[in-house]
Chain A
């Protein structure tokens, strides 16, 4: 009897750990979002300080002269130094919180003192971890600071100097009694305090590969690493844990090496399951993947007998999966021609190329012969392949007919549930039986449909996505845009907050329209995207713009503000 009780207790703790693992994955996503919001505020404050400093140095003519440049540069240094301290403090605290979410899963199974020690060790591990680029976290943060400092200073100095040169040239024209050419006038305006302040702000937070975007990437990568390392180390303290399963995020946007890690049964423990210290997680920075504990009694005979190496797994995949996992045409050709070895899957082609040349392999002649038999032989398609087919289907059908088309498949099984159109341009209707399938919580349907307007998911789309059998709803714009979302709330709560979010955006946009800052067509085109971004920032939906097509991108570029920053400011108005 006591043995049975002990066994029951053991089973109950394992079930608790599984449930807590799921909650921890949600918690770490929430932490990621909340810290991202704090980080945004830290950078936004620095941006404002930069802009205020520059504007305070303007002369009576509104221009910034060469005389004050040194002073501005000194103040930029101070602002960036303060920014770096605040950023590092924020990250330090977030790493600890991420690690504690990981160890908290095992609080019923491990002593409290061990839990704390494992959390602390995980944070230390992250701080000392040397990534593939040879940098530790502190060096990466230092580089981020210096990039911000250099870029902002260079951009500001360059604008002041250009304006100064233009002013001098203009003075020559005036002295000669000749009118100033229009281009010269434009260059003088370039050194207006307003313009330079704008340039500084964009360098810090908007321009391609800006310091803020880089910091955000570092935060997500390292918080997730602290969480994952803490979770892993705590997991293996439990005597029944045999491995960790590499889990793809439900939002995993495209096939990459993570698909292989999550599917290959390399150790005979089941697909994507790795013993201690063998997990390839995290496979890359900014990862959306997680790990989940696997107990010894979960490993089946089939798992034990199904052990395979990664090359064997790759050879069983569809060509587009093989190519996406190994990365690049030449490596794909090396795989297809039998040259690529298991230890070379993640090796960059430039390195492999030299190695192969030494072996006498004709690397220039490496190519893939189209493998018709493989393509048509009914090889089991990956979920990614079905997802792509779903999106391609609604787009091509929509472009041809002008109607809305829907396509739904189950993200767990890849089974295609429906392809449908109601032969109307603005709606798709469903039968009662079809609706029941969408309502069934055992299903995990991803529903794609086309948007002729190329705008983001509508309120009704998201409202429908609250059905229990829908895991994600996707809108494919006729310009190639792809927007997807899942809703984290039940439909009544969602409806209320959707209305509130829409009103906040509407008020904002009406104000800009009335001031003639924004055109009506732009406001209409971006409205749904702004509402969805606001809902996503507040955590009510998980919203992803997987791709902006040409039309959508053009509309976003016409906005007078950076969407992410503006939404971050507006989210405070949404009372949750």
Chain B
């Protein structure tokens, strides 16, 4: 039976190089769907957008 990732801890932070953040986003997108995965994806997209604004 498919298990859902509910505990997720990022290996990068919002101030990491944008390439590393994008790699983490790809890892998240490859995970099984769960509310916590979706929450993390949205968070990481905000990190990327903030990077663009800096």
Contacts and interface: CB of A to CB of B under 8 A. Distances in A.
A527 B50 CA distance: 14
Contacts of A499: 42-43, 46
Given A451-B9, A463-B36, A527 B15 contact: yes
B39 to A, nearest CB: 5
Interface in B11-51: 11-16, 27, 31-32, 34-37, 39-40, 42-43, 46-47, 50
A458 B5 CA distance: 14
Given A426-B11, A502-B43, A514-B54, A435 B16 contact: no
A520 interface: yes
A524 interface: yes
In this complex, the member of B3, B6, B16, B43 whose beta carbon has the largest number of chain A beta carbons within 10 angstroms is B6
B35 A524 contact: no
A210 B47 CA distance: 37
Given A506-B50, A523-B15, A460 B8 contact: yes
Contacts of B6: 428-430, 435, 438, 460, 464
A459 B12 contact: no
Interface string A417-460: 00000100111111110010010000000010101010100111
B39 A463 contact: yes
A460 B13 contact: no
A404 B12 CA distance: 16
A406 interface: yes
Contacts of A475: 9
A428 B16 contact: no
A464 B40 CA distance: 11
B15 A431 contact: no
B19 to A, nearest CB: 14
Nearest to A510: B54
A520 B14 CA distance: 9
A406 B8 CA distance: 11
Interface in A445-501: 447, 449, 451, 453, 455, 458-461, 463-464, 475, 491, 495, 499
Contact of A435 (B4, B8, B39): B4
Contact of A506 (B14, B36, B40): B14
Contacts of A524: 12-16
Nearest to B27: A426
B43 A406 contact: no
Contacts of A438: 6
B48 to A, nearest CB: 12
A509 interface: yes
A503 interface: yes
A491 B36 CA distance: 11
A66 interface: no
A510 B3 contact: no
Contacts of A514: 54
B5 A429 contact: yes
A426 B31 CA distance: 11
Contacts of B4: 429-430, 432, 435
Contacts of A366: none
Interface of A: 404, 406, 422, 425-432, 435, 438, 447, 449, 451, 453, 455, 458-461, 463-464, 475, 491, 495, 499, 502-503, 506, 509-510, 513-514, 520, 523-525, 527
10 contacts: A453-B9, A455-B13, A460-B8, A463-B39, A491-B35, A502-B43, A506-B47, A520-B15, A525-B13, A527-B13
Nearest 3 CB-CB pairs, A to B?
A524-B13, A429-B3, A428-B7
